[in-house]
Structure 1
Amino acid sequence: MEIIYSMVAFFQKGGLFMYPILIVFAVGMAIAVERWVQLNLIRQRNRKMWGQVQPLLAEGDFDQAREMTNDDKSTIAQMLSMGLARQGAVRRREDIEIAMEECMMEIIPQLEKRTPYIALLSNIATLLGLLGTIMGLIEAFTAVANANPAEKADLLSASISVAMNTTAFGLMAAIPLLLLHAKLTSTTGQIVDSLEMASVKALNSISNSSKRQFPAG
């Protein structure tokens, strides 16, 4: 309980700027949690879908793979569906690759959406903390100017201590948001890498199947 009382006292001493910092932190955490849940769901669905469709691609059963990807809503299924649709129509590797790259250009912004706001909110929390400290120092020096000379040192040190609370709280809010932003960016990169790997493997399977059906010479 003492820790809670200390936190409450720390927050109350910081002044009005503690509230916007808290709001910024709460918004940033809400976005981070939502993105974390979504990215993990996307990754799990992609892994499940790839585990089902990879054997079909390796066997050259593109009709079954096409039907499976059309019925699935995962990002990897969307990408493979575009490529397999071209495979059934033209069979040219370049056209299939372009189709999957076009789909990737639509998928990547969906994976990255709202994540940059976390870094932005982290910077805002830091700046609000600094602004709160500066405003607190201005008030402190104004109050000290009219104070009794014997009390100036004590009053100034107490006022500066209170003013620094906003900077400390701003950094306490900003650091976790920055770490979460880095983790989400890394997770997004891993998903994109897995999609690119699946694209290359699918293209290789299609090319190998075409060579078996239409051998050179």
Structure 2
Amino acid sequence: MVIWVMWIIILCSLAAMTIIGERFWSLQKKYISPPNLVAQVQQWLERKELDDARINLLGQTSPLGRILAAGLANRLSPRYIVKEAIEDTGRHVIPELERWLGGLGTIAVITPFLGLLGTVLGMIQMFYGLSDMGAADPIVVAGGISSALITTAAGITVAIPCVMAHRFFRAKVDSLIIDMEQEAIKLVDMLHEKPQKSSSVNY
């Protein structure tokens, strides 16, 4: 029974390593919130080069690009409609950033319990065997206990880096969300900035 618990812990560790590698690669800022994207949009607006084709292309570049494209698609609408379009798209983008983090958190929680379960099962198995042998040899008891504790150590060993990685990626996602919100606000202000009236002096 203990060996099966150990295999489950190993599979959890492999899944955790896969998630950590994938999220570490995917959550790079250059893929989520590329720099100078709003500046590029401003350049299109100033040169009157913005059209549906550019907006569609922008929406395919990155999560931030999708948010900006949603705002630009409604650029002729009132400010509150542009904000609603951006917020609605943002609600769809955020779960993509948080993808697999729930699984990583689950692994961090269950692996210590799996290790404890393996230890308990190992102890039960050991004492059940000793009851059939009659007198208990201290060396045999010590060896059985140490073997049973291996699963607990394995579970904790998997859980610690999973907890650290989960917290790191959560903080990373929060930082990216704040960055995208700031860029979206820049776009809204850009689309609805009030032109300054030049004052004339009468002589």
Normalised by the length of structure 2, the TM-score is: 0.84
2:190 is aligned with 1:205:
yes
Q: Contact (CA 8 Å) 2:32, 2:64: kept in 1 or not?
A: yes
Confirm whether residue 111 of structure 1 aligns to residue 94 of structure 2.
no
Displacement of 1:68: 4.2
Percent sequence identity over aligned pairs? 24
2:57 is aligned to 71
Distance 2:46 2:84 in 1: 21
Shift in alpha-carbon separation, 1:185–1:200, aligned structure 2, 3 A = same
Q: Given the superposition, is the C-alpha separation of residues 153 and 65 from structure 1 closer, same or farther in structure 2, using an over 3 Å criterion?
A: farther
Higher mean Cα deviation, 62-71 or 77-86? 62-71
| 2:122/2:148 contact within 8 Å kept | yes
Structure 2 unaligned blocks of 5 or more: 199-203
Partner in structure 2 of residue 82 of structure 1: 70
Residue correspondence of structure 1 range 19-34 to structure 2 within 5 A: 19-34=7-22
CA offsets 1:104-162 (integer angstroms, 9 cap, x no match): 0111111112211011122222221111000001011112223353x432222211111
For residue 96 of structure 1, what is the amino acid of its counterpart?
Answer: V
TM-score relative to the length of structure 1 = 0.79
Are the counterparts in 1 of residues 115 and 152 from structure 2 also a CA contact under 8 Å? Answer: yes
Match of 1:17 in 2: 5
User: Could you give the per-residue CA deviations for residues 38-81 of structure 1, whole angstroms, max 9, x where no partner exists?
Assistant: 111xx203443x40432653895384456644313211111111
What is the number of equivalent residue pairs in this alignment? 194
Alignment of 1:104-183 (within 5 A): 104-149=90-135, 151-183=136-168
Name whichever of 185-194 and 165-174 sits farther off.
185-194
Output the aligned Cα RMSD: 2.4
Partner of residue 99 from structure 1, selected from 85, 88, 97: 85
| Structure 1 partner of 2:201 | none
Q: Does residue 1:44 correspond to 2:44, yes or no?
A: no
Give the gaps of 5 or more residues in structure 1: 1-13
Q: Which residue of 1 aligns with 2:177?
A: 192
Q: Which has the higher helix share?
A: 1
User: Is the 2:119–2:148 contact (alpha carbons within 8 Å) kept by the matching residues of 1?
Assistant: yes
Change in 2 beyond 3 A, CA 1:133/1:214: farther
Q: Which residue of 2 aligns with 1:9?
A: none
